[in-house]
Amino acid sequence: MEPIKPEVKQRVQELRQLLQQASYAYYVLDSPIMEDAVYDQLYRELQSLETQYPELVTPDSPTQRVGEKPTTQFTSVRHNIPLYSLENAFNIDELQAWDQRWRRQVPPQTAAEYVCELKIDGNALALTYENGVLIRGATRGDGVVGEDITQNVRTIRSIPLRLNVETLHVTSLHVTSLHVTSLLERVEVRGEAFLPLDVFKQINEERQKAGESLFANPRNAAAGTLRQLDSRIVAQRRLDFFAYTLQIPGRDDVSIASSQWEALALLQKMGFRVNPNKRLCTSLAEVAEYYQYWDTERLNLPYMTDGVVVKINSFKLQEQLGFTQKFPRWAIALKYAAEEAPTRVENIAVNVGRTGALTPLAEMRPVQLAGTTVSRATLHNADRIAQLDIRIGDTVIVRKAGEIIPEVVRVLKELRPPDTEPFVMPSHCPVCGQPVVREMGEAVTRCVNTSCPAILKGAIEHWVSRDALDIRGIGEKLVHQLVDKGLVDSVADLYDLTSDKLYKLERMGKKSAEKIVDAIAQSKKQPWSRVLYGLGIRHVGNVTAQLLTEKFPTVEQLAEASRAKIEGVYGIGAEIADSIYQWFRISANQTLIQRLQAAGLQFATTADTAAISDGSNQKLAGKTFVITGTLPTLKRDEAKALIEKAGGKVTDSVSKKTDYLVVGENAGSKLAKAEALGITQLSEAQLLEIL
> CA 430, CA 453: separation in Å to the nearest integer?
11
Confidence of residue 28 (pLDDT cuts 50, 70, 90): very low
Gyration radius from the chain CA atoms: 30
- Please indicate whether residue 181 or residue 266 has the higher confidence score (pLDDT): 266
Mean pLDDT of 670-684: 82
Model pLDDT, residue 168? 57
The pLDDT assigned to 307 comes to: 92
Query: Which of 453, 387, 450 shows the shortest CA–CA distance to 423?
Result: 387
CA distance 285 to 279: 13
**CA quadruple 424, 425, 429, 431: dihedral positive or negative?**
positive
Report d(CA 495, CA 405) in Å as an integer: 31
Instruction: For residues 456 and 449, give the distance between their C-alpha atoms in angstroms, rounded to a whole number.
Output: 10
User: Which residue, among 311, 325, 334, 398, has the nearest Cα to 361 in the 3D structure?
Assistant: 398
Name 446's bridge partners.
357, 437
Active site residues: 119
Asked if residue 179 lies in contact with residue 254, where contact means CB atoms within 8 angstroms, the answer is yes
Give pLDDT, residue 531: 95
User: Strand 331-335 and strand 340-352: pairing?
Assistant: unpaired
CA atoms within 13 A on the CB side of 276: 6
pLDDT at 1 over 50: yes
Most confident of 25-34, 170-179, 488-497: 488-497
Model pLDDT, residue 675:
78
In the predicted model, is pLDDT for residue 609 greater than 60?
no
pLDDT in tens, 180-236: 565 567 889 999 999 999 898 888 888 777 776 677 678 888 888 888 877 788 888
The per-residue pLDDT for 191 is: 96
**Residue 107 — very low, low, confident or very high, per pLDDT cuts 50/70/90?**
very high
Predicted pLDDT at 612: 42
Per-residue b or e along 675-684, where b marks 16 or more CB atoms closer than 10 Å to that residue's CB: eeeebeebeb
For the segment 358-386, the average pLDDT, to the nearest whole number, is 86
Domains annotated for the chain, with CATH where assigned, are: 6-56 (1.10.287.610), 87-335 (3.30.470.30), 340-437 (2.40.50.140), 453-524 (1.10.150.20), 528-609 (1.10.150.20), 624-690 (3.40.50.10190)
Closest CA to 674 of 639, 618, 625, 606: 625
Q: How many residues does the chain have?
A: 691
DSSP 533-579: HHTT-TT--HHHHHHHHHH-SBHHHHHH--HHHHHTSTT--HHHHHH
Nearby residues of 276 by Cβ (< 8 Å), 6 or more positions away:
none
SS3 172: helix
- Residue 532 is predicted with a pLDDT of 95
Which range among 160-174, 580-594, 639-653 shows the weakest confidence by mean pLDDT?
A: 160-174
SS3 315: helix
Predicted pLDDT of residue 174: 52
**Mapped to the 3 state alphabet, what secondary structure does 599-641 carry?**
HCCCCECCHHHHHHHCCCCCCCCCCEEEEECECCCCCHHHHHH
Q: Out of 8-17, 340-349, 595-604, pick the least confident.
A: 8-17
Pick the residue with more confidence: 346 or 227?
346
Q: What is the pLDDT of residue 580?
A: 94
Burial 12-28 (b: 16+ CB within 10 A, else e): bebbbebbeebbeebbe
Q: According to the model, what pLDDT value does residue 139 have?
A: 92
Pick from 199-208, 241-250, 605-614: least confident:
605-614
CB 365 within 8 A of CB 374: no
The whole-angstrom separation of Cα 240 and Cα 222 is 9
Percent of the chain whose predicted confidence (pLDDT) is above 70: 88
Please determine, for residue 66, whether its predicted confidence score (pLDDT) is greater than 80: no
pLDDT band at 567 (very low <50, low <70, confident <90, very high): confident
- Judge whether residue 27 has pLDDT over 50: no
Confidence of residue 59 (pLDDT cuts 50, 70, 90): low
> What is the pLDDT confidence band of residue 166, given thresholds at 50, 70 and 90?
low
Band the pLDDT of 669: cuts 50, 70, 90.
confident
In sign, the C-alpha dihedral spanning 218, 221, 225, 226 is: positive
Return the HEC string of 480-530. HHHHHCCCCCCHHHHHHCCHHHHHCCCCCCHHHHHHHHHHHHHHHHCCHHH
Is the confidence at residue 308, as pLDDT, over 80? yes
The CA distance from 463 to 485, in Å, is: 19
* Residue 181 confidence (pLDDT): 61
Query: How does the average pLDDT of the chain come out, rounded?
Result: 84
Q: Which residues are annotated as a binding site for NAD(+)?
A: 36-40, 85-86, 117, 140, 192, 311, 335
Instruction: Read off the pLDDT of residues 458-502 as tens digits, 9 standing for 90 and up.
Output: 999 999 998 899 898 898 899 999 999 999 999 999 999 999 899
